[in-house]
Amino acid sequence: MLELEHEHAARFLDQAIQHFMPGERSRTRVLDFGCGSGELATTLASFGYPASGCDVKRYWDVTNGTERLHVIEQSPYRLPFEDNVFDVVVSTSVLEHAQNKEEIFPEIHRVLAPRGLAMHLYPSKWYIPTEPHVYVPLVNMLWPNCPRWWLSCWAILGVRNEYQSEMPWREVRNVNFRYCREGLSYWSHRRYRRLSVQVFGNYYDATWFFVKNGYGGLVRMSHALRLPAWLGGQISSMFRMSFLINRKS
């Protein structure tokens, strides 16, 4: 299932890159920011892109040809690349975890070549019906102040993610409370706009393009209802996934 999601994401990002920065794939240098175990970077490389990845930990198997993957320095925070290296930096479901966006955006700006693009696909703060990692309703909306009693109620009712199936409810509550404090960082569109303009001088909500060319239940529903891409984009950007683009001037 996860491999299929990486394939969907890679095909969507390929379309986005070719639409917003058309050119030869072999000449378009791509960085997957927050690459995890590296599947997305590997798939983009199979499409012909010179693709690299980076993350805060080595989540990948070092014996499996992962010379394109690198660990981010954290103190001080710095992406492990020189200035002006990449034409496109992409991330998928990363920004909602990042506690240090004020450091991340300037670093992405630094490693992008002039006129390069940053593309971020991430769940909205108002994502419904449940937070997409712990599966508890309203956690993303309540963040950063999600109360223990709310997490307790859903744990008692049996709500678990795929890693918690055997846990008693108190342990689930405690794990989720810690995750809310340390593993989530949901921002409003206004905060993303403010930081984007501060660092890049621009902000573009391209969620219409995701609804037109992407994947997932809301995208399929939008197509089935024949909604205009702009309207489906507005709905997705508010209540499901957002697609943010910044260009380095």
CATH code of the domain in which 75 resides: 3.40.50.150
pLDDT tens for each residue of 4-43: 678 899 999 999 999 999 999 999 999 999 999 999 999 9
Quote the pLDDT of residue 64.
58
pLDDT given at position 1 = 41
The token duo for 225 is: 């209802």
Domain-embedded: residue 17: yes
Work out whether the CA dihedral 151, 156, 157, 160 comes out positive or negative.
Answer: positive
Can you list the residues of the chain whose pLDDT is less than 50? 1-2
Separation of alpha carbons 193 and 238, rounded Å: 14
> Whole-prediction pTM value?
0.94
Assess whether 195 and 120 both reside in one domain: yes
If asked whether residues 178 and 191 sit together in one domain, one would say: no
- Domain identity same for 101 and 211: yes
Q: Please check whether residues 175 and 194 belong to one and the same domain.
A: no
Domain holding 41, by residue range, is 2-125+187-247
Residue whose entry in the numeric block shows the structure tokens 């981010």: 72
Judgement on whether residues 45 and 113 belong to the same structural domain of the protein:
yes
Shared domain for 106 and 220, answered yes or no, is yes
| Residue-level pLDDT at 6 | 80
Residue 38: Cβ-neighbour burial (10 angstroms; 0-12, 13-18, 19+): buried
Q: Nearest 5°: CA angle at 209, between 204 and 212?
A: 160
**Between 189-199 and 101-111, two packed helices, what is the crossing angle to 10 degrees?**
40
Give pLDDT, residue 63.
60
